[in-house]
Amino acid sequence: MHPDLSTHLHTGECNDIIYALKVCHKENPWKKFLGVCNDLDHALNKCLKNERESRRKNNATKIKNSE
């Protein structure tokens, strides 16, 4: 399960992967259950994790600077 995949919430890199994953699911309505789109899914998870870690670091820096 992924968080909200709206384009305005993510970087261009993640948006490209999101689009490719949606296309893969649309083109492979049954094969997606057999793992055809898993590589894209793993890439998206990695990209979303990097975004989350980046936001966490930025927020920690903001807090340190405001003290």
d(CA 37, CA 39) in angstroms, rounded, equals: 6
* pLDDT tens per residue across span 28-58: 999 989 999 999 999 999 999 999 999 999 9
pTM over 0.85: no
- Find out whether 40 and 21 touch, Cβ atoms under 8 Å: yes
d(CA 4, CA 35) in angstroms, rounded, equals: 22
